[in-house]
Amino acid sequence: MNIIFMGTPNFAVPTLEALFAQGYTIDLVVTQKDRPKGRGKKVLYTPVKEKALELGLEVYQPDSINSPESIDFLRKLSPDFMVVVAYGQILKENVLEIPKYGCYNVHASLLPKYRGAAPINWAIIDGESMTGVTIMEMEEGLDTGDIILKESIPIENEDDSLSIHDKLSELGANLIISALEKISKGDYSKVPQNHLESTYAAKLNKDLGKIDWNKSTIEIVNLIRGLKPWPSAYFIYNEEIVKVHKGKAISSNLKGKIGEIIKVNSEGIFVCAHDGIVVMEEIQFPGKRKMIVEEYLRGNSIKEGIVLV
């Protein structure tokens, strides 16, 4: 069985590695264009390109996967499968019809919930207790295709978007191998999605991160967990944006105004929310590295009594 693989970020790398390790013939790896990153704007390979070159695989980086040139190029390879993992472009019908046995997507949610760009983050932000991976046969709609396989994992209290990302990327790699084996043997069924149960995981932006202290402690902590490491939850202190990378909700007899910093010590910054106290444990001031509060307080101070808005 020969495969065209499409993917771009770190999330897609374990699937590429698994396909290669299982002996699938990967005729081509398609990934997004290399882009400048960081303060120096150095052009970096995508994580998938970096891994593909390490494995000795051919890499293709078109401006548009749906262009006539791209479609002609892919057709000449006559793939049995296309496997798509967070590629970053929507595939149109002319592309989806190319492989003999179809295009299959590794999606980081339990479809039909959390269709879209940021399923890992929104599942945490929304306080879900479970998430998982769905192997879906692709169609032109946004994550609307039939389900081939699905597997769930719990979202633990200590999980954030980084830890769930890593768990689901490994789960997805294992699940696509199982799916391709079933499909190649004809030993599988397609389950249509119930579109009435669908939810949308919109693309993240920096505005999402501002903490609203009128919300519950659980909602605030879920926001912190779900937006780590980017764009990060944040609050405004002395007209500076302070990112919060870790926090917890506690039960306490401490009282204050909503948004008030009522205590600061080595454990963290204690702030009143709608129904209790949030302790911010790891923070980052502009231009500084992230630090646990105990470390920050060794050379700096945070004033108690200030009301964050």
CB atoms within 10 A of CB 244: 27
Domain that holds residue 228: 206-296
pLDDT at 51: 98
End of a domain among 141, 169, 201? Answer: 201
* Positions in the chain short of pLDDT 70: none
Query: Measured in whole angstroms, how far is the alpha carbon of residue 18 from the centre of its chain?
Result: 20
Number of domains forming the structure of the chain? 2
Residues 65 and 194 in one domain: yes
pLDDT at 261: 98
Give pLDDT tens digits for 187-197. 999 999 999 99
pLDDT at 37: 79
pLDDT at 253: 87
Q: What is the CATH number of the domain that holds 27?
A: 3.40.50.170
The 3-state DSSP class for residue 206 equals: helix
Residues 70 and 134 in one domain: yes
Residues 171 and 271 in one domain: no
Residues 176 and 256 in one domain: no
Q: What is the CATH number of the domain that holds 236?
A: 3.10.25.10
Residue 187 lies in a domain: yes
pLDDT at 30: 98
Give the predicted TM-score (pTM) of the model. Answer: 0.95
End of a domain among 153, 178, 201? Answer: 201
pLDDT at 42: 86
Residues 53 and 189 in one domain: yes
pLDDT at 36: 85
- Which distant-in-sequence residues (6+ apart) come within 8 Å of 10 by Cβ? 47, 165, 169
Residues 123 and 270 in one domain: no
End of a domain among 182, 201, 220? Answer: 201
